[in-house]
Amino acid sequence: MSFASEIRGRLSTLELRRFEDRANGEAAVLMAIRMIREEPHFVLTRRTETVATHKGQISFPGGVREKQDRTLVETALRETEEEIGIESNRVEVLGEFHDYHAVTGFVVRPVVGLIDGPVQFLPFAPEVAYVLEVPLAFFRHTAPVVRERVLRGERVKVYYYDYQGENIWGLTARIIRDFVLWL
């Protein structure tokens, strides 16, 4: 069974966590995976220092749902094309993962997708400094550093991974950690 078939099958039976309160808005990210030498890698971006939120952070491509987006899958695919130049027909959507609350107040939905074949990333310079690809195996074999913080009066765990000098933390690290534990 291929990696994509296995993930699609498992996601189709996953009891998803969904949040009904979306008063602050919805967003979606593409938990983009690309096979490199038959090994799955997450496709991540480093945000520029000039974006409005999450300056300089490592994240999945994604953003806020816009009026024309019929679904959050469309949001994730549109944002991926805008941010790194990967057209939606190059992404095989495998399914959706759990909803998350972001510190910005948005409900964020990760969409799991496999980017097909060799690609040339075209980072949108105002938002994306560069693209990096991190082996999924790194996250399977590396325990994150865990720190507690108080957010909106509540103690929460914040996860941090250091990959070759890149600090992957916050919501992106939480999504990756949860996904890898679920695998």
Confidence class for position 182, pLDDT limits 50, 70, 90:
very high
Is there a domain that residue 39 lies in?
yes
Separation of alpha carbons 19 and 61, rounded Å:
21
| Tokens 């690290």, located at residue | 173
pLDDT tens digit sequence for 16-44: 999 988 778 999 999 999 999 999 999 99
Query: Are the C-beta atoms of residues 105 and 95 closer than 8 Å to each other?
Result: no
The CB-side HSE value for 180 (13 A sphere, CA atoms) comes to 19
Is there a domain that residue 158 lies in?
no
Is there a domain that residue 72 lies in?
yes
pLDDT at 14: 96
pLDDT at 87: 96
pLDDT tens digit sequence for 68-97: 999 999 999 999 999 999 999 999 999 999
Work out how many domains the chain is built from and give that number. Answer: 1
Is there a domain that residue 109 lies in?
yes
pLDDT at 50: 80
- Give me the percent of the chain exceeding a pLDDT of 90: 81
pLDDT at 105: 84
Whether pLDDT at 112 is above 80: yes
- Mean pLDDT throughout 169-180? 96
Is there a domain that residue 58 lies in?
yes
pLDDT at 117: 83
Whether this prediction's pTM lies above 0.85 is answered by: yes
- Mean pLDDT throughout 112-133? 94
Which stretch of DSSP H or E encloses residue 110? strand 107-115
Confidence class for position 15, pLDDT limits 50, 70, 90:
very high
Is there a domain that residue 38 lies in?
yes
Any idea which of 37-41, 102-106, 139-143 has the lowest mean pLDDT? 102-106
Is there a domain that residue 160 lies in?
no
Is there a domain that residue 153 lies in?
no
Query: Domain of 68: which CATH number?
Result: 3.90.79.10
